[in-house]
Structures are given as structure tokens and as C-alpha cells.
């Protein structure tokens, strides 16, 4: 680390350079210059310490120690100030951790920065700061995505609206009375307002494949699309959204668990609807059971129902 050299000491060096091999000045001159530089460094260190500028004070004490290597008092001041800096940096770090645990991210970030300004080698504060900045980036990205989704949803409110299912929805409520009652085709409906946001995030993920914030945001959007598609009777769209979410959830155990829970829930609701329609509308019941196997291929009850109907 480089430290500013006091002016008197610079003059001494300049004097040596100018005189070259000529007769050097008497030792008393060097001693006077050294004492003057030592006094200036000591006074600056005390002034900085009184103002709370501990890092600057330590720098001046280290200059004084270089000017007076055998001065025990100066060496003791260096040790004391180093200990004070360590204690103060630790206090800032602990305060930052407490603020972070309380959800006060900005204040916590300020405390970690203060700790690092005192002790640049504080790896724990640096790690906490990186974690905070990553969380902040995730929140900002999620907020930006949500604003874009809302804006697009409003602009497309009356455009590409999916048709209502022509048979009971997964909640058991009758829809589209007076229509044919035929089951809807298992095809993807018109693009939802969220598609444009998803496309942008997927492009970003291709450029930054290790960006877990983008991955988690995309998974959340796909799960929203799956819920909406399922509740609207667009089961193929719901299954496609879940499949996309599964691809992104590799290595994210919590997200994988949430996706699997949705698969099971969707399959059970479809199976129950099939059971309810088995006597009155056996063909639609079979359709529901086939959809059940689409979401959960190992659904044993749906397999047995279809096998039994095939034997009749």
C-alpha cells in the first residue's frame, strides 16, 4: 500500500538528489527533517482519529512508524488503532446482519459498506453485501416483470381472449349453457399477455445462463400460466407451461417440489371430474382420465378406469 510522503521528507530526498556526490548536509539536518515529518504525521493521525477517520489515521501512524522504526509509542498507537478498526468494523457488520434479518436491506447495505471501508479484507462483510445485492436484483427484476405483465394484460384485455370451455370446468361449475357440450380440443390457445415477457426473459437467460433470479422469475410466470390455463380448461397449455417450468427448475429443489405438487393436484381434480361424469357422459369421463395421465403418467386409478372401459 502506498502512503503520502510528508513534505519535509520530500525536501530531504530532493536535497540528496541535487547534491549527488557532493558533500552531504550535516546529520543534524536529516534529523531535523525527520523529526518535522514525524511530528506532521503524528498530528495528522491524531486529528483524523478525533474526526472518526480511522483508516486515514492508521495510514498516518504507519508513516510515523516508518519514520521512527524504534519508537515504541508509535508502534503501540498503530496496534491500538488496528484493534479499534477491527472492533468498529465488526460492529458495523453485526449491525448490518441484524438489519438484514429485519428486512431493512438498504440500511444493512450501508453498514456492510462501512465495515468494508474500515477493513477491506473483511470477507464476511463482502459476502453479505453480495448476497444483499443479489436479492435486491431479484426483487427489482420480479417487480419489473410484474409491471410489464400488468401493462400487457391491460393492453390485451379484449384481444385473444380464450373461449370458455363447453363443459364443466375443473371447479365443477357449468359454463357456456346451450352450447354443444363437446370437450375442447387439447391444443394451445392464443398467446397470453405474459408471452412477450417470457420471451424477453428467455432471451436474457440464454445470455446469462447462471442468472438464478431470471430462472426463478420465469418458473413463477410459467406456474401462473399453468394455473390460468388449467382453470380456463386449456389443459394442453397448462401441461406445456409445467413442462417448461420443469426444464428451468433443474437444480432448484424447492421449485421442483412446487411443480410436482401442481402436477398431482391437477391430476386429482381431473380424475375426480371423470368419476363424476362416468355414468352420464362416459366419453367425456374417459377424456378427463386421459388428461389425468397427461399430468401424472403413473396415476394408477385413471389407468384402471380406462382399461376397464376398454374391455366393455
Q: 3-state secondary structure string, 69-124?
A: CCCHHHHHHHHHHHHHHHHHHHHHHHHHHHHHHCCCHHHHHHHHHHHHHHCCCCHH
Distance CA 281, CA 265 (A): 23
Give the pLDDT confidence score for residue 162 in this predicted structure: 44
The string of pLDDT tens digits covering residues 26-51 is 667 777 887 888 888 888 888 888 88
Mean pLDDT of 90-119: 84
Cβ-based neighbours of 301, under 8 Å, separated by 6 or more: 271
Number of domains making up the chain: 2
Q: In this structure, is residue 162 part of a structural domain?
A: no
Domain end marker among 52, 69, 86: 69
Cβ-based neighbours of 4, under 8 Å, separated by 6 or more: 59, 63
Q: In this structure, is residue 211 part of a structural domain?
A: yes
Domain end marker among 46, 69, 92: 69
Give the pLDDT confidence score for residue 44 in this predicted structure: 86
Give the pLDDT confidence score for residue 173 in this predicted structure: 44
Q: In this structure, is residue 13 part of a structural domain?
A: yes
Distance CA 45, CA 189 (A): 73
Domain end marker among 41, 69, 97: 69
Q: Is 279 helix (H, G, I), strand (E, B) or coil?
A: coil
Q: In this structure, is residue 103 part of a structural domain?
A: no
Rg of the chain (C-alpha set): 36
The string of pLDDT tens digits covering residues 17-28 is 555 544 555 667
The string of pLDDT tens digits covering residues 217-271 is 888 888 888 888 888 888 888 888 888 888 888 777 778 888 888 888 998 999 8
Beta carbons of 290 and 273 less than 8 angstroms apart: no
Q: In this structure, is residue 82 part of a structural domain?
A: no
Average pLDDT across the chain, whole number: 75
Range of the domain at 57: 1-69
pLDDT at 174 over 50: no
Distance CA 204, CA 12 (A): 60
Secondary structure E strands in the chain? none
Q: In this structure, is residue 76 part of a structural domain?
A: no
Amino acid at each position: 500500500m502506498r502512503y503520502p510522503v510528508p513534505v519535509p521528507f520530500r525536501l530531504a530526498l530532493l536535497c540528496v538528489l541535487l547534491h549527488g556526490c557532493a558533500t552531504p548536509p550535516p546529520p543534524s539536518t536529516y534529523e531535523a527533517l525527520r523529526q518535522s515529518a514525524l511530528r506532521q504525521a503524528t498530528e495528522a493521525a491524531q486529528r483524523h482519529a478525533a474526526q472518526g477517520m480511522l483508516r486515514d489515521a492508521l495510514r498516518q501512524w504507519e508513516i510515523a512508524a516508518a519514520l521512527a522504526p524504534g519508537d515504541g509509542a508509535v508502534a503501540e498507537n498503530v496496534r491500538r488503532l488496528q484493534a479499534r478498526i477491527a472492533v468498529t468494523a465488526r460492529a458495523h457488520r453485526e449491525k448490518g446482519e441484524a438489519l438484514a434479518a429485519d428486512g431493512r436491506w438498504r440500511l444493512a447495505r450501508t453498514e456492510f459498506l462501512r465495515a468494508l471501508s474500515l477493513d477491506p479484507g473483511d470477507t464476511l462483510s463482502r459476502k453479505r453485501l453480495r448476497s444483499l445485492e443479489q436479492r435486491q436484483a431479484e426483487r427489482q427484476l420480479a417487480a419489473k416483470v410484474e409491471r410489464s405483465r400488468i401493462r400487457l394484460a391491460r393492453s390485451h384485455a379484449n384481444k385473444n381472449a380464450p373461449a370458455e370451455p363447453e363443459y364443466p370446468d375443473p371447479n365443477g361449475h357449468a359454463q357456456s349453457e346451450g352450447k354443444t357440450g363437446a370437450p375442447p380440443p387439447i391444443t394451445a390457445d392464443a398467446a397470453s399477455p405474459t408471452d412477450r415477457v417470457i420471451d424477453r426473459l428467455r432471451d436474457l437467460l440464454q445470455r446469462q445462463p447462471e442468472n438464478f433470479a431470471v430462472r426463478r422469475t420465469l418458473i413463477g410466470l410459467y406456474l401462473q400460466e399453468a394455473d390460468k390455463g388449467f382453470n380456463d380448461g386449456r389443459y394442453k397449455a397448462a401441461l406445456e407451461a409445467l413442462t417448461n417450468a420443469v426444464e428451468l427448475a433443474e437444480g432448484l429443489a424447492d421449485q421442483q417440489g412446487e411443480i410436482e405438487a401442481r402436477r398431482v393436484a391437477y391430476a386429482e381434480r381431473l380424475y375426480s371430474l371423470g368419476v363424476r361424469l362416468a355414468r352420464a357422459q362416459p366419453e367425456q369421463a374417459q377424456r378427463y382420465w386421459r388428461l389425468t395421465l397427461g399430468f401424472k403418467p403413473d396415476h394408477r386409478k385413471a389407468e384402471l378406469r380406462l382399461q376397464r372401459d376398454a374391455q366393455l
